[in-house]
Amino acid sequence: MPEWWGGQAGDEVPGPHFSPGTEVAGFTIEGTIASGGFGTVYRARRSGRPYAIKLVRSDPRGDREAAALRLMRHPNEVSFHGYGLWPEEDPRWLVLALELVEGLTLDAWAVEENPSALELVMRVLLPFALTLADVHASGVVHRDIKEANIVVREADGQPVLVDFGAAGLKEGALRLTMRLPPGTAEYRSPEVLRFAKQWEGEHYPFSPGDDLWAMGVVIYGLLTRTLPFGDRSNPGLNRAILEETPPAPHELNPRVPLALSELCMGMLEKDPEDRYPDAKALAEDMVELCTQADGTWRTPMFAGGRRDKSAEVPAPAVPETPARWRWRSAGPVAAAVLVLGVLLLFVQRWGSPPGLPPQHTSPRQEMASTQVTGDVGRGAEPRTSPIPAPVATETNSEEPKMKKSQTIRTLVAAGCVASSGCVSSPQQRPPPEPAECPPGAAITHERFGLLRDSVSHYVGFAPSEQRTISVRVQEGDVTVWSIGPWGMFPDEITFSGRLYFGRDRVYGRFTQATLPGGETVPVCLQMRRNQTLGVPLEPESTRNKVFIHVAALVEIVNRFE
């Protein structure tokens, strides 16, 4: 871990230590992943499947962590598969079975990848803000947001929030700490410290604002490689958080765009009312920034490190009207609307960010104290559960004093749509037959570094004057636009192919990419949603009119399924 990053929430490492090969509650230990004040996480395997298992004490705090995990359903939140008890003869520990998230912690990823500002926002910060929105809507506050608890998943490049050991539940759970809630010193909000300073015996009323403050500290570190108020070795850390204003990120790192620097500083305002009211509002502003980004957003954040893609693929000239993407048949506002359609897709709890793994939809399975019956399913219920059943609530907060963009709020409410001809009864048709990719597609994928960047990417359908988050489509030839950077493809790139209507889904195959200069190259991409081929119809679809989301995920394939 780089020395400029913060430490752990607790220094004590509780619980037993297991060597590889040890059997624990039906799992075979393969190694240690991490240890902290709230438990030890191991890499383990059961029935040939990999897991991360976490041992926490069987007490109210451990029960609360399991309760918080049971509420998580977003693909960018670590999946909870159930729990067991250990040891069998005298159960004193909960064995939490979790998704094994392979990847780098956010700090390590940032150093290794050295992303541009645009890549940082689109690939990490925006998806993570939407993940936080989902966490908070579930009635959970994480309370230990920091780089070590955000893993950039190797499979799809998505930021995954892990370690809910410090999580607080807004409803239905006992308050366990008194003066100071759990967390990491460098990331505590001013309101936490003010409460501790004036403590009179009551419990701290934690809120999503604590997570958003910590995210501001994280963003500051990503932009400057320094913590805004110093680390715990600084005896004046708490005073700095309460009273001092750190230098703006662009002052410490000239490669930081001014607008992104100002967003970060807005997240570190001392008064909660001057900050964002919720994570969704933060995500909306991030989208607005990306739609207005110019070529300066394409430069890697720090000198050296990863090769500068902008040196290989020159950035397009900045149009007179500032916009991140230009559209052949629509203006910059329509481009912003399309991206906001993606944002709304993410915010919906049933939606899917780019490249996410499947949501587990199989019936819930059970984990007994030391034996697991059948496969472990997401959100598994134990036969005898010590876990309380908290009530999921929506978080509410007042509008902040900080002035928000009226344009972006209008666009979020509106979305966008593209109209096309009518279709006939897609429900009666089977999916298309498997087919071979066009010759040379694999060469294109390698040439533009798509496999190194991500095997999946979002594309958008052309917007029109009517604006919703759905788009009406017709079967046959279609052209879509790339949303954001992908490998070494230029920004203004389109993909051409065909749409096929199935019984309750629309299938898309794209065989050609057109570069800004007019060059065409073969590709092999197909639409997929939640690891299921094709995308579902939107509720407003009829026998004669078919609607899908305005943005769709495409993946690279070696053969059309």
Residues 6 or more apart whose Cβ sits within 8 Å of residue 326:
316, 319, 332, 335, 492
504-529: b or e for each residue (b if 16 or more CB lie within 10 Å)?
ebbbbbbbbbeeeeeeebbbbbbbbb
Q: What are residue 152's DSSP bridge partners?
A: 104, 159
Tell me if residue 548 falls in helix, strand or coil: strand
Q: What is the DSSP letter of 123?
A: I
- Among 168-177, 199-208, 459-468, top mean pLDDT goes to 199-208
- 425 has a pLDDT exceeding 50: no
Residue type, position 3, single letter = E
Taking residues 60-66, report their average pLDDT. Answer: 75
What pLDDT was estimated at residue 36?
Answer: 66
Q: DSSP letters of 425-492?
A: -GGG-PPPPPEEPPTTHHHHHHHTTHHHH-SEEEEEPPP-SS--SEEEE-SEEEEEEE-S--TT--SS
User: Higher confidence at residue 326 or residue 237?
Assistant: 237
Strand order across the 103-105 sheet = 103-105, 150-153, 159-161
106-347 shares its CATH topology with 416-560: no
Torsion from C-alpha of 128, 134, 136, 139, nearest 10 degrees:
-150
Q: What is the pLDDT of residue 405?
A: 38
Please give the pLDDT value at position 401: 41
* pLDDT tens by residue, 40-60: 899 999 999 999 999 887 776
Q: Which pLDDT band holds residue 14 (cuts at 50, 70, 90)?
A: low
CB neighbours of residue 472 within 10 Å: 22
Query: Among 155-159, 160-164, 195-199, 283-287, which stretch is predicted with the lowest mean pLDDT?
Result: 195-199
Which pLDDT does position 402 carry in this prediction?
A: 43
Share of the chain above pLDDT 70, in %: 68
Q: SS3 of 280, please? A: helix
Q: In degrees, to the nearest 5, what angle opens at C-alpha 364 toward C-alphas 361 and 369?
A: 145
Amino acid at 227: L
| pLDDT tier for residue 318 given thresholds of 50, 70 and 90 | very low
Q: What is the mean pLDDT of the chain?
A: 74
Q: What is the pLDDT of residues 393-403, one digit of tens each?
A: 333 334 344 44
Q: What is the pLDDT of residue 428?
A: 54
Give me the architecture of the 106-347 domain, per CATH.
Orthogonal Bundle (1.10)
Report d(CA 135, CA 142) in Å as an integer.
Answer: 8
Closest CA to 265 of 278, 253, 277, 274: 274
- Which of the residue ranges 90-104, 159-173, 175-189, 326-340 would you say has the lowest mean pLDDT? 326-340
Q: What is the pLDDT of residue 302?
A: 94
Q: What is the DSSP annotation of 356-367?
A: PPPPP-SPP-EE
Task: Check residue 495 and report its DSSP letter.
Answer: E
Measured in degrees and rounded to the nearest 5, phi and psi for residue 299 equal -80, 135
In whole angstroms, give the CA distance from residue 33 to residue 16: 14
Q: What's the rounded Cα separation, in Å, for the pair 499 and 477? A: 7
Domain segments of the chain as ranges: 106-347, 416-560
Identify the pLDDT of residue 361: 31
Q: Which helix (H) or strand (E) holds 192?
A: helix 190-197
Classified by CATH at the fold level, domain 416-560 comes out as Lipocalin (2.40.128)
DSSP3 helix / strand / coil % (the chain, rounded to 5): 30, 20, 50
Q: Is pLDDT of 298 > 70?
A: yes
pLDDT at residue 369 in the model: 33
Quick: pLDDT tens for 355-394: 333 333 322 233 333 333 333 333 333 333 333 333 333 3
